[in-house]
Amino acid sequence: MSPLRKKLIAGNWKMNKTSADGVALVQEIVAAAGKQTEVDVVVCPPFTALESVGRVLEGSGVRLGAQNVHPEASGAYTGEISVGMLRALFASYVILGHSERRSYFQESDSFINQKVIASLKGQLKPILCVGETLGQREAGETLRVVQTQLEAGLEGVGKDQIASVVIAYEPVWAIGTGKVATTEQAQQVHAFIRSLLTKSYGENAAEKVRILYGGSMKPANAPELLAQRDIDGGLIGGASLESRSFLELVAAASAVR
């Protein structure tokens, strides 16, 4: 744990919740955790619920994030959403390079990098996801894969910008499977990510970057994960869809602060 890094709990709702369902969920989150300041809390609804959810978050400490963005500012990109559009809805974070986007939508490291650069330019904080598949882990390629995704994703990001970036380590085999990485497995990769950041940006900057764990994080396994030196929070899928489990995760992060 580091005094330089406040824990961050981010909910990735993925393709779940209508606008009305999202409002109901964040009303409960804001009522219970809207005023606490010990943990940074972010919710990332689908695009169609950003505006309505954002209205509920107004005046609370809970921040709004999107699940994707297009690198161009405007133009003929049917179906896409720009950084400026998200900022106009007061989004402050954006999830980039999620493994579901990498695998189902063939997003490459260089395209993800363009999004990272555009987001930072537009004052949107990227949550850059990296992580290996089961096959890659079994082949002993975990660190190589994570290094490639991290370095390619951060290409051109300056020393003055890196503290605005959040990294999420999400082993693909742990996402939505109920199989959580052991604390040792997770801490090893988190420490490796921080060592790479230290090499590129220096120790002071690297110590400020939050590295989240994602992949079947639940109230039952969170305390142990969050107690690791280099695990600064969680990117939560399934357990973020219900206020009770999400709030328990916020409480768990607050307890290890």
**Residues of this chain that bind ligand 13P (CB under 6 A):** 12, 98, 170, 175-176, 214-217, 235-239
Q: Which two tokens stand for residue 194?
A: 């921080």
Q: Please report which helix (H) or strand (E) contains residue 213, including its range.
A: strand 210-214
Please state the closest distance from residue 170 (CB atom) to ligand 13P, in A.
5
By beta-carbon proximity to ligand 13P, the closer residue of 181 and 201 is 181
- Active site residue: 100, 107, 132, 170, which one? 170
Say if CB 170 and CB 235 are below 8 A apart.
Answer: yes
Is 98 an active-site residue?
yes
Please state the closest distance from residue 23 (CB atom) to ligand 13P, in A.
21
- Active site residue: 98, 100, 132, 190, which one? 98
**Residues in CB range of 218: below 8 A, 6 or more apart:** 180, 238, 239, 245, 249
Instruction: State the residue number with the nearest CB to ligand 13P.
Output: 237
Say if CB 204 and CB 5 are below 8 A apart.
Answer: no
Please state the closest distance from residue 74 (CB atom) to ligand 13P, in A.
28
Is 170 an active-site residue?
yes
By beta-carbon proximity to ligand 13P, the closer residue of 46 and 215 is 215
**Residues in CB range of 21: below 8 A, 6 or more apart:** 49
Q: Which of the residues are catalytic?
A: 98, 170
